[in-house]
Amino acid sequence: MNRHTGMNDLSAVIEADRAHVWHHLTQHKPYETVDPKVMVEGKGMKIWDATGKEHLDAVSGGVWTVNIGYGRESMADVIRDQLLKLNYYAGAAGSVPGALFAEKLIGKMPGMSRVYYSNSGSEANEKAFKMIRQIAHRQHGGRKWKILYRERDYHGTTFGALSAGGQAQRNAQYGPFLPGFVEVPHCLEYRSQWGDVDDYGERAADAIEEVILREGPDTVGGLCLEPITAGGGVIVPPAGYWERVQQICEKYDILLHIDEVVCGVGRTGEWFGYQHYGVKPDFVTMAKGVASGYAAISCTVTTEAVFDQFKDDPDDPMGFFRDISTFGGCTSGPAAALENMRIVEEEGLLDNSTKMGERLLGNLNALMEKHAVIGDVRGKGLFCGAELVADRKTKEPAPEAKVKAVAADCMEQGVIIGAQNRSLADGMNNALLFSPALIATESDIDAITEAVDGALGRVFG
Ligand code: PLP
């Protein structure tokens, strides 16, 4: 009997998966000859697959989500209790956990005031885009309708979010996209577009202003940025960047929308990534770590000044936000989010994220001394990346097959790390990604970097 499933034989499950499940982000051809991976059970930092193999998860459920770790009984308890009390009601009425979580969340976000619930990161971003467009209609005669997004950032998989997507490989065969979304340059100094400049942060922010001036400031209503770019290669903005971005938004009356879908709720050592930089956003969106994957929930958080614009004319049939999210009415989401926040707070996970993140960065920097293939190491809190290059001088990206081979070798060793791959643009997708749960210990961090050390040695010699 497999102790993780209570089932004698999981081969039927694997066959059902092979026959009928279409996995996310996956080329399925190899599954004609090798078994697809099916995950079965998780506890803390560990996860077991259908063969019974144990893995140390350094990516929090594959995509930066399970911030508080697997198998939390108190999460299951609050969700069960809430489901039995009232599982769902949507539309114009609120719910007890919805009200309580909103109050608690706003307590962590000085300057913010309102929470709009939905259930995925993409959806939360769509809501913000719609709010910005509606403000353009109501306040600016429809003129300020354009939304700027940044090269290498990602905001989701729906058409609005993809239209704001700065990663070519995610968009290539899904166009045409929505008009009115305009790209600004990335801010990764390691791959500076302006050569060696002293004030790279300000230069990269000025590039946003150049786009605004080119498009016409009276046509630009919003700017959507990740606080620290995630899937685009863990890009920590350079000094001076955010201060200048804030000034530019104020100068041209542009609403600042920060996508905290990955960075939110402790991932970078603060409650939110933007809080490292003293930025004052108009919109903050969040999803993954809000309930750590125990329930589906996302939030679009706004200031009271934004909210006020949707209630100033009660007689106008368009004078409010004409939007709904059916499953934004699932009460398990905010109930789970409340408990998730309690855990982060009471277990000191922001502090642990900072401390363990420093250890992870330190270990990766030490590996850089040993492995010439590591060109750059970056990160904040338990959110780190290491960019692999064929040549440190030219910064030519390491071949994709080898980047993937490092992750596959770690997987063999029982450590799951992330690897960007399948980029359509050189130097855009050759990083190893690390985002362990915020409960990681020193020995977890050391085990992760030991696995990477071994893998780099075997793959690159
Ligand atoms: N925003 C960012 C920064 C993300 O990384 C993602 C997903 O990875 C999303 C938005 C989309 O979230 P979801 O997959 O929940 O729609």
Residue spans of the chain under pLDDT 50? none
CA of residue 122 to ligand 1 center, whole Å: 6
Question: CB within 8 A of 428, min separation 6: which ones?
Answer: 152, 167, 168, 232, 233, 420
Which of 208-231 are b and which e, b meaning 16 or more Cβ less than 10 Å from the residue's Cβ?
A: bbebbeeeeeeebbbbbbbbbbbb
Atom of ligand 1 nearest to the CA of 288: 15
Burial of 84 per CB tally in 10 Å (0-12, 13-18, 19+):
exposed
Asked if residue 156 has its Cβ within 6 Å of ligand 1, the reply is yes
Strands (E) located in 291-382: 298-302, 374-379
121 CA → ligand 1 middle, Å: 5
User: Does ligand 1 lie within 6 Å of residue 287's CB atom?
Assistant: yes
From atom 12 of ligand 1, which residue's Cα is the shortest distance away?
A: 121
ipTM summary value = 0.99
Q: Do residues 124 and 287 lie in contact, with contact meaning Cβ atoms separated by under 8 Å?
A: yes
Give the closest residue (by CA) to ligand 1 atom 5.
Answer: 262
Which pLDDT does position 313 carry in this prediction?
85
What pLDDT, on a 0 to 100 scale, did the predictor assign at position 91?
Answer: 87
Q: What is the pLDDT of residue 8?
A: 59
The pLDDT of residue 2 is 59
299: Cβ below 6 Å to ligand 1? no
201-211 tens-digit pLDDT: 999 999 999 99
Task: Collapse the DSSP code of 115 into the 3-class scheme (helix H, G, I; strand E, B; otherwise coil) and give the result.
Answer: strand
Q: Which domains does the chain have, with CATH numbers?
A: 38-71+349-460 (3.90.1150.10), 73-347 (3.40.640.10)
**How many angstroms is it from 159 CA to the middle of ligand 1?**
13
Q: Say if ligand 1 is within 6 A of residue 165 CB.
A: no
Query: How far apart (Å, rounded) are the C-alpha atoms in residues 343 and 365?
Result: 31
pLDDT at 58: 98
Give whole-number Cα distances, 455 to 123, 403, 415, in Å.
37, 10, 11
**The whole model's pTM is what?**
0.97
**Which ligand 1 atom is nearest residue 156's CA?**
11
